[in-house]
Amino acid sequence: MRNVFASGHNLKEWGGPLTPADTMRLKIRRTLTLVVACVAMAPAFAQRGALAVPRNVDQLTDRAADIVRGTVVSAYVEKHPELTNLDTVVVTLRVRETLKGQARGTFTFRQYIWDVRDRYDAAGYRKGQDLLLLMIVPSRYGLSSPAGMDQGRFRIERDRSGREVAVNGTGNVRLFDGLAADAQNEGVALTSKQAGIVAKHRKGPVELGELTAMIREFARSE
């Protein structure tokens, strides 16, 4: 995006030195540009402090363009290269598994930061994290974020028995609400173990293998 508010060489576009009225028009134009940009980027807002409609596994999968499991190799905060008043975090993962999309090798995305606290901890992304991310399609400004905000960002850990488990930023609350009906409507056959999880799980970590298997099946049904 060309910056027409920069100064110097842009004065000629106004036919000479700027008058107070010209200056005011520039300020209004710049403000409107930022407002339009933020509206366009609304789905890609950072998570902290944000509210989102609860989404289940099927809905998150449907909204995601890329679903990857990987290890964070870098995460840093910088200004957006075009919208220079906006803070963003740039995250790169070494891809371990792709459940949806074409990500191979590494996967990099840029996420908008609207909460000042996220500037100091890269919105919670840290090198070495093992994550499962369900990412929405990037906006026209190259910004993306997990589907459903924190709901589409799963931290992978091992439980006391050594099993890999996943938990999202909302503690997996309502992650399986209505999923049995969704599976039936979309022709997705849940295993008996998966059906048990869907029926009984309310919150807390879920076995990673069962979660990714369900995500794959719902992705195939689209």
For 142-160, how does the pLDDT look when each residue is reduced to its tens digit (9 = 90+)? 999 999 989 999 999 999 9
For residue 1, is it within any domain?
no
20 & 73 share domain: no
For residue 3, is it within any domain?
no
For 68-104, how does the pLDDT look when each residue is reduced to its tens digit (9 = 90+)? 999 999 999 999 999 999 999 999 999 999 999 999 9
Q: What is the pLDDT of residue 52?
A: 75
31 & 78 share domain: no
pTM recorded for the entire structure:
0.78
22 & 131 share domain: no
Q: What would the two tokens of residue 189 be? A: 């056959």
163 & 62 share domain: yes
For residue 18, is it within any domain?
yes
Count of CB atoms within 10 A of residue 42's CB? Answer: 10
Q: Which domain holds residue 57?
A: 44-220
20 & 68 share domain: no
Q: Which of 125, 123, 107 is nearest to 115 (CA)?
A: 123
Domains of the chain: total = 2
For residue 115, is it within any domain?
yes
